[in-house]
Amino acid sequence: MPGENIIRKGVELKALTTMKTGGPAAYLVEPSNEDEIIKLLRYAQAKSLEVFILGNGSNVIADDEGFDGLIIKLGNNMSELIVDDDPEDPDYSFITAKAGCLLSKLGNTAASEGLEGAEFACGIPGSVGGAVFMNAGAYGADISDIAVEVSYIEDFKLQTRVVSKEDFGYRTSFFAHNGRIVTSLKIRLKKGDKERINEYVRELRDKRTTSQPLTVPSCGSTFKRPEGYFAGKLIQDSGLKGFSLDDSGAQVSSKHAGFVVNNEGKAGSEDIKRLIRYIQDKVYEDSGVRLECEVRFLGGKKEQ
């Protein structure tokens, strides 16, 4: 297999996901460059191995039975970040980051360079690739506001796309289709007042710490925001804030009803999924709104 030197067998997915669930992956490789990814994809196709692209695992519920295929994890080995001036406009700079770079690093680098617009990214615990795929966002801004170019692999070829708002939707993007693999993101930011930018980063961090259960395993918001509603409010109105079905560890957070948490990391993905289905049914019964999962599922049956 390409990347034989770095291939790992039977890695427990619970160690690679923030929800802390998931059994072993048959194969896991952390490639260092785009060529290696393409070789891995060809290998997987030749061997009929299912492939899953994993970033920082902060929006993935991995199956208790694990994954009988190849996980391509884009992380530290592909995490270079470069800051450049915009040669056409001295008021702007570009930052180009590889898919495995942490989104928080992108946001924090922008802030320390005195560049505005990426403050929202500082508190999101994903990778750049996962954030492009999901069009991650918070506090009124998302990736679509800052992205100018995305490189990705499709049909075994590395391509670059100049992107616009139309390439992104609410927690989705052009890159979430057709097996595309994001390999890097280029953003363009305006030079601003460094002190004010850092103050805003601190303000958002404080808001997050006050309102979200950040010390307990979770995937952040479990559900997408239904049009015209807030998922957390609907769940709370159904009396489910702090609710658990049993003592498995799966619980609706008592701090933020939009988060399903895995207390002490002791619940399995089946426990979490059972609670998710319960919440969906109860909220639907009470409000007529069907909550759709924002979290993604790795392995197992794709029923949600």
Ligand X SMILES: Cc1cc2nc3c(=O)[nH]c(=O)nc-3n(C[C@H](O)[C@H](O)[C@H](O)COP(=O)(O)OP(=O)(O)OC[C@H]3O[C@@H](n4cnc5c(N)ncnc54)[C@H](O)[C@@H]3O)c2cc1C
By annotation, the residues acting in catalysis are 171, 221, 294
With CB under 6 A as the contact rule, the residue among 2, 3, 24, 130 that binds ligand X is 130
Q: Residue 21 interacts with ligand X (CB under 6 A)?
A: no
136 contacts 124 by C-beta, under 8 angstroms: yes
Q: Which of 21, 59, 96, 253 binds ligand X (CB under 6 A)?
A: 59
Rounded-to-integer distance, Cα 184 and Cα 212, Å: 29
Q: Which of 175, 181, 113, 124 shows the shortest CA–CA distance to 147? A: 175
Applying the rule CB under 6 A, the residues between 226 and 285 that interact with ligand X are none
| Given 6, 7, 81, 138, the residue binding ligand X (CB under 6 A) | 138
Nearer to ligand X, 127 or 236 (CB): 127
Taking CB under 6 A as the binding criterion, the range among 1-9, 156-164, 174-182, 196-204 that sits at the site for ligand X is: 174-182
Task: Specify the amino acid at residue 268.
Answer: G
Q: How far apart are the first and last CA of the chain?
A: 33
Task: List, in order, residues 6 or more apart from 222 with CB less than 8 Å away.
Answer: 231, 258, 259, 260, 276, 279, 293, 294, 295
Is residue 205 near ligand X by the rule CB under 6 A? Answer: no
By the rule CB under 6 A, 127 interacts with ligand X: yes
What is the rounded CA–CA span in Å between residue 188 and residue 220?
27
Instruction: Note whether 126 binds ligand X by CB under 6 A.
Output: yes
Q: What is the per-residue binding string for ligand X in 282-301, x denoting contact by CB under 6 A?
A: --------------x-----
Size of site (CB under 6 A) for ligand X: 32
Q: Does 60 bind ligand X (CB under 6 A)?
A: yes
User: Does residue 22 touch ligand X according to CB under 6 A?
Assistant: no
Select the span of 110-118, 131-139, 158-166, 223-231 touching ligand X (CB under 6 A). 131-139
Q: Choose the binding region for ligand X from 84-92, 106-114, 175-183, 263-271 (rule: CB under 6 A).
A: 175-183
In the complex with ligand X, the residue whose CB is nearer, 27 or 175, is 175
Cα dihedral 283, 136, 177, 50 in deg (nearest 10): -90
- Single residue of 2, 24, 55, 69 touching ligand X by CB under 6 A: 55
Size (the chain), residues? 304
Q: How crowded is the C-beta side of 79, counted as CA atoms within 13 Å?
A: 18
The footprint of ligand X (CB under 6 A) covers 18, 52-60, 74, 99, 124-127, 129-131, 133-134, 136-138, 175, 181-182, 214, 218-220, 296
